[in-house]
A and B are shown apart, each in its own frame.
Chain A
């Protein structure tokens, strides 16, 4: 019996050794890629992920293998570029030591507790179990506990009020989003795209404020005809709109300089305190009035 067991153990040892020694059996690219973490995915290795970055990384691995680099050299190359976190099992350093320290501690503590549980120990006189609390103690416990229970509810209510931006914001107004987006585009000097967003917003909800913004965007995008047309739409409803006059006048400067000056003077007359007024005055002064001497 024992002999059979020993023979089986030996055979099992050989089997294990054979199984452990042979890791090059699989595709070498896959073997290296399995040790690299796909930076764009959740917990997937480069070998398993289908994201474009993983595909590119697999290609790098294949190239370097073809150049005769070995597994460790390739891993080092990746670590230099992307940091140790690119490895699926980075070396235990710094905070990563916890990954081994905490389980080791648990094993030690559990083992110690188990030994203590198993060790025979002298019987201790068991102290009397706490009896029913007396009436005064019970009343005190009742007061403390009931206040505690109510405090728990109140604290959740207060915390929910403080911390809670509505769980998910009410779906935002698409027009407002479009206008905001267009505004952001303008600050990035992408006036074409901004104008498009404004037009999008106007289709949903006509609004002269937005129309004026569109006119400015068109003007800056170089479409002065479009800017003029849009500004006139506004002026048709509100002949004294300062911004309407301003953008119309500026737009006219490229095509009809004479009318531009007239429009801009009207703008100055309507809104002498407008932030752009000073600039316009300088502009008009630099450019002699049409029909003047």
Chain B
């Protein structure tokens, strides 16, 4: 019953999405009624919402006649993880994908923009929507019936039942991915809309900022989940799926920064298209089973269709945006040291990092048809390429605040203090410890950035008083510097030890130690668990008892390690239970001390907050922005930026 309703809702959604695309096309071509088209967008959203609600209902009612519930539901699963299991597997997560996409489409439909630009942008969004609706109804329908109806299901993948972030991370990530459809749609609509298309980047900016903030948050939460659940002690493994989320983030970051400068239409459209095309590519990588990854969904037949759609989107966007719009004339030499120049340099560097990550991610797929080998690309490659580039990005970023001053020597003078702080940090840390060159330069770059930002903050407060809206960039950049410190610190100073302990024995790393007190075995309904009770001692003071566990899920026949993480201001203690002897008399335990990991989460949160601040500001004051004098010296004198 629920299953039939669900299948029907998908069919209705597909019909609505097709109709909506056509309605918006009529608006663009024949000035047809906008109201009907808007209604279509709302109806499509409603169909997606109904489909999601029906699948959630089926999950909650343990209706195992629905295929998705039979495969991913289970009576033993707690309520929270039953709710989140909607997006714990491919077909259900496509529904969430549709809901988020439909939300963006309906919101975009209600805003006022130049009519033809708006209509063409809505056509693009609606076509993307109808493709995913078609995919969901024809190839990945979660509502297909199962017969015979099983009495119980295995529940979602145990790894996805371990951490509350599971409820937030995927929706946030999807909000980030799909928000990028708006700049993409505007970029494709602009050449079609002719004169109305000018200045589209400014209209797309608030959307891109919201998407970017969500994506930043989603990536950060993903790293946190990986750290807290996977039990290997790290947070980023340059795994294909992690890379797939980083790729659009890099190009979207470049897009946001180039839109600060007028008169770079070609950059705007290239970066906006690249961001969403990378989202689609990431969807292909994640959902086709093409790459092996901890986060990937299992093999599915969607691969060829997704790949086809990626290629179609690449061709369409190349054809549409390839015709370069003539740019206004420029006179006067640009200054090498100016904010627009540095922003452009960082844009190029970000695109280069994206190229590094992209080729590293897809080379394993390309190598088989190219030369018949199965090449694997590991973290070592990214450490030699992406990491140094990222440090350079940080350095360039650190130099920009000083460039507010028009006078070149004054700007250089303002750089002296941050440069001194950066060099001093490198000298001090380099003489006191040996973190390795990459981490050391990252520390120096972070000090350079943070000191520069602090100077800028003081300068701005003195000049114009506290105006929190204007601090968005500062907050985001400070967050990034903190992330850099966290990454460098945890990778350079992390230490660990692994040993089999008998009850009463102690494992020591630095001044942190754990003593094994006992081993408990418990059997639950859906899982069996072994817990080691350990007393944590930090610098001689006996601390709390911690209980890392090994959890076995019979329904999926998998064992999951549940690490015990003690979060501290300067370092985390990270204890994993690896094995337990038959008689429960001893346990193999890994103790790791991960310094500065906290900065990573704090920095990530700060960066996302910066994005939201900027979004709020740019959405609130579109008119004021449009009327502001052109900030780019390179465009000065053109007078025809609009």
Alpha-carbon distance between A206 and B134 when the two chains are bound, in angstroms? 45
> Are B434's CB and A96's CB within 8 A?
no
The 9 tightest CB contacts between A and B, nearest first, are A15-B430, A123-B329, A11-B427, A106-B355, A160-B138, A110-B348, A12-B426, A160-B139, A8-B423
Q: Is A89 an interface residue (CB 8 A)?
A: yes
> Are B375's CB and A96's CB within 8 A?
yes
Q: By CB atoms of chain B within 10 A, which of A12, A14, A121 has the most? A: A12
Q: By CB atoms of chain B within 10 A, which of A5, A48, A117 has the most? A: A117
> Are B348's CB and A107's CB within 8 A?
yes
Alpha-carbon distance between A9 and B421 when the two chains are bound, in angstroms? 10
Q: Is A50 an interface residue (CB 8 A)?
A: yes
> Are B367's CB and A95's CB within 8 A?
yes
> Are B139's CB and A164's CB within 8 A?
yes
Question: Quick one: closest B residue to A22, CB to CB?
Answer: B434
Beyond contacts A43-B376, A165-B301: 7 other A-B pairs, Cβ-Cβ < 8 A, are A20-B436, A42-B292, A89-B381, A98-B363, A110-B352, A152-B134, A167-B301
Q: Is B507 an interface residue (CB 8 A)?
A: no
Name 26 A/B residue pairs within 8 A (Cβ), A-sorted: A5-B416, A5-B423, A11-B424, A12-B444, A35-B380, A88-B380, A89-B380, A95-B363, A95-B371, A103-B359, A110-B348, A113-B266, A114-B347, A117-B264, A117-B267, A121-B330, A131-B194, A138-B30, A141-B29, A149-B22, A152-B131, A153-B130, A156-B305, A159-B305, A167-B301, A168-B71
> Are A161's CB and B444's CB within 8 A?
no
Question: Tally of A-B residue pairs with Cβ under 8 A?
Answer: 231
> Are B351's CB and A110's CB within 8 A?
yes
Question: Quick one: closest A residue to B415, CB to CB?
Answer: A5
> Are A18's CB and B434's CB within 8 A?
yes
Q: Is A285 an interface residue (CB 8 A)?
A: no
Alpha-carbon distance between A37 and B375 when the two chains are bound, in angstroms? 12
Q: Is B326 an interface residue (CB 8 A)?
A: yes
Q: Is B321 an interface residue (CB 8 A)?
A: no
Question: Quick one: closest A residue to B331, CB to CB?
Answer: A120
B18-61 contact mask (Cβ, 8 Å, vs A): 1 or 0: 10011001100110000000000000000000000000000000
Q: Is A157 an interface residue (CB 8 A)?
A: yes
Which of B14, B25, B347, B440 touches A145 (beta carbons < 8 Å)? B25
Task: Give the interface of B toward A (CB within 8 A).
Answer: 14, 18, 21-22, 25-26, 29-30, 71, 90-91, 116, 123, 127, 130-131, 134-135, 138-140, 144, 146-147, 150, 194-195, 232, 237-239, 264, 266-267, 292-294, 298, 300-301, 304-305, 308, 326, 328-334, 341, 344-345, 347-348, 351-352, 354-356, 358-360, 363, 366-367, 370-371, 373-381, 384-385, 416, 419-420, 423-424, 426-431, 434-437, 440-441, 444, 578, 634, 638
Q: Is A203 an interface residue (CB 8 A)?
A: no
> Are A142's CB and B329's CB within 8 A?
no
> Are A12's CB and B430's CB within 8 A?
yes
Query: Beyond A85-B376, A142-B29, A149-B127, is A117–B430 a contact (Cβ under 8 Å)?
Result: no
Which of A25, A113, A168 touches B267 (beta carbons < 8 Å)? A113
> Are B293's CB and A42's CB within 8 A?
yes
Alpha-carbon distance between A164 and B139 when the two chains are bound, in angstroms? 7
Chain B residues, CB < 8 A from A160: 135, 138-139, 301, 305
Alpha-carbon distance between A126 and B371 when the two chains are bound, in angstroms? 48
Question: Quick one: closest B residue to A87, CB to CB?
Answer: B380
Task: Give the interface of A toward B (CB within 8 A).
Answer: 1, 4-5, 8-9, 11-12, 14-16, 18-20, 22-23, 25, 35, 37, 42-43, 45, 48, 50, 85, 88-89, 94-96, 98-100, 102-103, 105-107, 110-111, 113-114, 117-124, 126-127, 129-133, 138-139, 141-142, 145-146, 149-150, 152-153, 155-157, 159-161, 163-168, 170-171
Alpha-carbon distance between A130 and B239 when the two chains are bound, in angstroms? 46
> Are A50's CB and B578's CB within 8 A?
yes
* Distance between A55 CB and nearest chain B CB, rounded to angstroms: 11
Query: Beyond A25-B434, A142-B26, A167-B91, is A110–B347 a contact (Cβ under 8 Å)?
Result: yes
Query: Beyond A11-B423, A95-B371, is A111–B232 a contact (Cβ under 8 Å)?
Result: no
Which of B123, B341, B356 touches A103 (beta carbons < 8 Å)? B356
Alpha-carbon distance between A11 and B432 when the two chains are bound, in angstroms? 12
Chain A residues, CB < 8 A from B427: 8, 11-12, 14-15
Question: Quick one: closest A residue to B357, CB to CB?
Answer: A103
Which of A1, A12, A43, A124 touches B238 (beta carbons < 8 Å)? A43
Chain B residues, CB < 8 A from A50: 578
Question: Quick one: closest B residue to A166, CB to CB?
Answer: B144
> Are B431's CB and A149's CB within 8 A?
no
* Distance between B535 CB and nearest chain A CB, rounded to angstroms: 25
Alpha-carbon distance between A149 and B312 when the two chains are bound, in angstroms? 12
Which of B30, B139, B578 touches A167 (beta carbons < 8 Å)? B139
Query: Beyond A42-B292, A43-B238, A138-B29, is A99–B378 a contact (Cβ under 8 Å)?
Result: no
> Are A127's CB and B428's CB within 8 A?
no
